[in-house]
Structure 1
Amino acid sequence: MRDRVFGRQSSTAAAREANKMFRKVEAAPSEHAKADKAFHANRERLKAERLARESKRPANPPIRPAG
């Protein structure tokens, strides 16, 4: 039966299950992509840690007199 308002054909439960098998899936990431993602995540983590350490440091460290 055809739905005249939306122009879609109603499907049965079996047809919907069959269509799930042919649905496009995202390709699995390659080893290079995994390594690249891990590298960038680690770099961002280290950057956040560095910025946190730097924010705890005094703005102008005391200057020691020479000698």
Structure 2
Amino acid sequence: MTENVSFRRKPLTPEQRQARDAARRQEAEKAMRDHEAAQKAFHANRERLKAERLAREAAAAKD
């Protein structure tokens, strides 16, 4: 039969917990900055493409 062995993690010290929380906070902030930069790039590209499309449509309407 198999024994019921539970592997429990060693409790973190307050210093380790603070270090872990600080690292998580930094990772979250970096992820948010990356996301915001990607969103800005996406919207800028979308606006550029929209302007190009409108210019093409205006040029086609002239003809």
The structure with the largest helix share of the pair is 2
TM-score (norm 1): 0.46
| Structure with greater strand share of residues | 1
Q: Could you state the TM-score of these two structures normalised by the residue count of structure 2?
A: 0.49
* Higher gyration radius (CA): 1
